[in-house]
Every structure is written in structure tokens, then in C-alpha cells.
Amino acid sequence: MHTGKRTKIIATIGPASDSEEQIAELIRAGVNVFRFNMKHNVKEWHVERIKRVQKVAKEIDIAVGVLIDLQGPEIRIQTEQGKSIEVVKNDLIFFTYDFKEATPIMGKYPVIVIPHKSIIQNMAAEDAFSIDDGFFEFEVVESDKNGFIAKSLDNGSIKDHKSLNLIGKDVDLPSLTSDDLEKLDIGAAAKVDFIALSFVRTKEDVHTLRAEMDKRGLKARIVSKIESEKGVDNIDAIIDETDVIMVARGDLGVEMPIERIAYLQKEMIKKCRAKNKQVIVATQMLQSMTENSRPTRAEATDVSNAVYDGADAVMLSAESATGKNPLKTVEIMKRILKFNENHTNLFTNFEPQIKDQTNAIVRAAISVLEDKFLNIDKVLIFTETGYTAHVLSSYRSKTPVMAISGTKEAVESMTLDYGVIPLHVAFPTGDFSFNDMDELLIKDGYVQKGETVLVIHGHRWKDPGKTNALVVLQV
């Protein structure tokens, strides 16, 4: 079991972290979910590594989630023959949707392809955009239906396949590409736990993804990545329709004024907690550890602030996928999380907006936990779908919470829930009785004799949506 921290860690898997030995080390160090960035590597690589993660997690008997991250309406450039382009300030570059359209201008200007005709045709003089997470800014000088000329505002080397962000301009692009649909097939075959979609702009983007998942019988939870102004504008509707929100600060910090990012992070976390939705803080959390053995003070503070904001999870990208110190990065992140969790006060003055039977029972459970006379050592949740655990997690209790389910999918869906240790245990049949489970839980070390535990359950095993009882027990 993962103990000692409540905030979950997502680690992006890559060549620096994809052996069975490395995966096992990372899980034991504190990784709860492995992210597969489907923009990189070939299909076969992802299929093999997903199987590898699932195999290792089963062998060491720790619940681990698998998240695949789809590209969605992300824009990536193409350079001629994949070569880098050197630019200095005020250099002009021709942008088009197909290299064939650039033939008459070849030699006069360097050429970059944006493989979306609608973007090319919507750009006009004085429009602004950036490449490579904002490191290269451009201003359009002149345009026509086949392309536009833009002036560089920076110096450096522009590499192939880097991201492009439009500044203050919304172009209608499909929420899923044909490549995304192929990657969904991989997710369905592997029965992954989370599907993340980049650049979610409206609730309709979530509906489109869910419909494609339904076609494939894929029951994973949807992670909506908020990384554009339109996504921020529609955040309330998106939260209502999705399962998880990711505050994807990389592109968000390019498409919106950077001084707003900390505020937006706090607001999105607050909104997600109020609606019992999980929320992830992502991008460059310990970026310097891609090369160095220690993070900067600012990075350590950034991870700490995600804890004080009340995030369910924090995410590593290049740090764990291609960095020099994946294991040490996770160990340091865990240390930062553990220390700061013990100094938070997230448990008080919180009231969710959702009103249903499960929320009412959980609210009553919170009152029991707040009663110092009872001195509850642990909370045990018996859940068929994981929903009760999702709700209780939103309160950010410091009391250890063990969520027990007989369904593997429910167990792995809870790997993102703050403070929840998900356990896969076969449920008996008939009416609920803790006596049917206590010997097994004691034998496996989940509870100790003499502990006072708060049990949250329904009247019958395997009866989803019917959580209706609290019991305080002396083990």
C-alpha cells in the first residue's frame, strides 16, 4: 500500500523509466498513475509498456492507474525534411498548410507547415502566435488563402513538431483526430483507467470523446485538460460533464497572460472540489530535475502550493519520461508532498455543491471525524463504483481512508483520489456485515486490532449508488 502521503503522483513513462525494474521502483517510491503521452513513440511501444505497468502493479500488489493522453486539437508544426530552422529577431518565415503551396516562395523564406488549412485561412496581419511553448513569438505581416508571412520576435532554433499556440484567436478544430481514435482503440484493448484529452474547449468536446469511448466499450474516466482561454471561459460546464480536470499550465501559460495562471489554478481546484471532481496540477513541476539532481527552490514551492491549493494529484512529464533522475524526482516530490500535507487546513469550512444520498452520508461521516471524542484511526469505505470515495476525498481529510471494492476498474479509478488507498477485495454476497471482512482485513494488515474505524457502506454488497450507513467499530 502507499502510505505517508495523500496527494497522488502521476509520472509520465518514457525511455528513462520504462523497464520493469524502474516501474516497480517508481511505484514503491510513490507513483500512483502512469501517464502515456500518445503524441510520442509508436503504437507498439505504448501497447507493450501499458502491459508492463499492469503486470508489475499486479506482481507487487499495489493499485496503479494507467492514463493515456490524447493530442486532441493541439497544433504542431512541420519543418522541411524535419530540419531545425535558425531565426533571429525580425526574420520572416512563410507559413502554409502544405509544402507544395510554398514551392514559388522556396529559397526566399524558410517554410513551416501548419497542417490545418482553417488556421492558415483565418490568420490576418497583426495576429500573434507562438511556437514551442511560447519560446518563439511571431506577428503576421501579410496573408492570403494559401499562407502567411510572419515576423519572428525572438532568436533561436525552431525544431520540427513543436507546438503552436494562437494568441487571442479561436479556430474551430475537431476535438479528436484520426490518430486519437486509433489511440482510443489501444486504450479499449488495454482497459486503461483514464483518458486525457488535450485542449478541451467546451462540454461538447467531452461529449464527443465519451461517445467514441462508448462505441469501444471503454469505461475509463475522462480527464479534461484545460489549456486555452476558451476552456477557461467554459470551465463550469466542462467540470459538470467530465470526471477529472487537469490544470495544464504549459499551454495555458502561453495562450493566456502568465500572471493569471496561479489564480486560475486555485479557482479550478476550488470548483472541482465543490463538485466532487478530481483535479490534477501539471507541467514543469520539477522541470530542472530533468537534468539536475535537485529541484530549484521555486519548484519545491510550486509543488507545495499545489498541496495548499487542495489538488488531488501532481504530475511529472519530461522529469520522469526522459530525465536523468526519474526515481529521485519522485522521491523528492513525495517528501515535499508529505511535509506540506501535514501543515494544510483544507478539511475545515468545505461544503460540496452536489446534494445526493451519498453526499449526505459522507457529510455525516465528516461530522464523526471532526468529533475528537471518538478518535477515529481509519475510515473504511466499501464501494462498488468508487463514487463514495471520490466524494469523501473532496473533503481532504487527514484520517487514513481505505476504499475497498470488488471491482478492479473501481479500484484503479480511485488511484487519483486524494488521501484514498484503494484495495481490491472480493465482496461476499447478501446483506452487508463487517464481520464477513474483518478477519481478512486484519490478516492483510489493512486494519489493526484495537483500532477505532469508521465504516461507510450500503445495505447490500454489490449494490451501487446505495451508500446509506455509517458504523463506528472497535476492531
Give the CATH number, domain containing residue 383.
Answer: 3.40.1380.20
Residue 349 domain-assigned (yes or no): no
Residue 351 domain-assigned (yes or no): no
What domain range includes position 40? 8-72+174-341
Look at residue 103 in the predicted model and tell me its pLDDT: 66
Q: 466: pLDDT confidence band, cut at 50, 70 and 90?
A: low
Residue 67 domain-assigned (yes or no): yes
pLDDT one-digit tens code per residue, 201-231? 999 999 999 999 999 999 999 999 999 999 9
Question: For residue 216, what are the contacts with CB-CB under 8 A and spacing of at least 6?
Answer: 184, 185, 187, 188
Q: Which residue has the higher pLDDT, 26 or 42?
A: 26
- Same-domain status, 156 and 273: no
- Same-domain status, 106 and 197: no
Is the predicted pLDDT of residue 64 greater than 70, yes or no? Answer: yes
- Same-domain status, 192 and 60: yes
Domain boundary among 113, 138, 167: 167
Is the predicted pLDDT of residue 2 greater than 90, yes or no? Answer: no
Mean pLDDT of all residues in 243-269:
93
Domain boundary among 341, 370, 399: 341
Give the CATH number, domain containing residue 144.
Answer: 2.40.33.10
pLDDT one-digit tens code per residue, 387-427? 999 999 999 988 999 998 888 999 999 999 999 999 888 76
Q: 21: pLDDT confidence band, cut at 50, 70 and 90?
A: very high
Residue 129 domain-assigned (yes or no): yes
Residue 232 domain-assigned (yes or no): yes
- Same-domain status, 160 and 180: no
Look at residue 315 in the predicted model and tell me its pLDDT: 98
- Same-domain status, 211 and 123: no
Q: 324: pLDDT confidence band, cut at 50, 70 and 90?
A: very high
Q: 370: pLDDT confidence band, cut at 50, 70 and 90?
A: confident
Percent of all residues in the chain with a pLDDT value above 90, rounded to a whole number? 62
Distance CA 156, CA 136 (A): 8
Write the secondary structure of the chain as one string of H (helix), E (strand) and C (coil): CCCCCCCEEEEECCCCCCCHHHHHHHHHHCEEEEEEECCCCCHHHHHHHHHHHHHHHHHHCCCCEEEEEECCCCEECEEHHHCCEEECCCCEEEEECCHHHHHHHECCECEEECCCHHHHHHCCCCCEEEECCCCEEEEEEEEECCEEEEEECCCEEECCCCEEEEECCCCCCCCCCHHHHHHHHHHHHHCCCEEEECCCCCHHHHHHHHHHHHHCCCCCEEEEEECCHHHHHCHHHHHHHCCEEEEEHHHHHHHCCHHHHHHHHHHHHHHHHHCCCEEEEECCCCHHHHCCCCCCHHHHHHHHHHHHHCCCEEEECHHHHCCCCHHHHHHHHHHHHHHHHCCCCCCCCCCCCCCCHHHHHHHHHHHHHHCCCCCCCEEEEECCCCHHHHHHHCCCCCCCEEEEECCHHHHHHHHHCCCEEEEECCCCCCECCHHHCHHHHHHCCCCCCCCEEEEEEECECCCCCCEEEEEEEEC
- Same-domain status, 35 and 178: yes
Is the predicted pLDDT of residue 100 greater than 90, yes or no? Answer: no
Domain boundary among 341, 373, 408: 341
The answer, as to whether pTM is greater than 0.85, is yes
- Same-domain status, 27 and 86: no
Percent of all residues in the chain with a pLDDT value above 70, rounded to a whole number? 92
Mean pLDDT of the chain: 89
- Same-domain status, 470 and 417: yes
Look at residue 302 in the predicted model and tell me its pLDDT: 97
Mean pLDDT of all residues in 139-155:
91
- Same-domain status, 336 and 413: no
- Same-domain status, 162 and 61: no
Look at residue 41 in the predicted model and tell me its pLDDT: 82
- Count how many domains the chain has: 3
Residue 205 domain-assigned (yes or no): yes
Look at residue 394 in the predicted model and tell me its pLDDT: 93
Look at residue 440 in the predicted model and tell me its pLDDT: 67
Q: 106: pLDDT confidence band, cut at 50, 70 and 90?
A: low
Residue 150 domain-assigned (yes or no): yes
Give the CATH number, domain containing residue 62.
Answer: 3.20.20.60
Q: 445: pLDDT confidence band, cut at 50, 70 and 90?
A: confident
Residue 315 domain-assigned (yes or no): yes
pLDDT one-digit tens code per residue, 268-304? 999 999 999 999 999 999 999 999 999 999 999 999 9
- Same-domain status, 18 and 58: yes
Which of 85-99, 187-201, 251-265, 440-454 is predicted least confidently? Answer: 440-454
Look at residue 461 in the predicted model and tell me its pLDDT: 53
- Same-domain status, 114 and 59: no
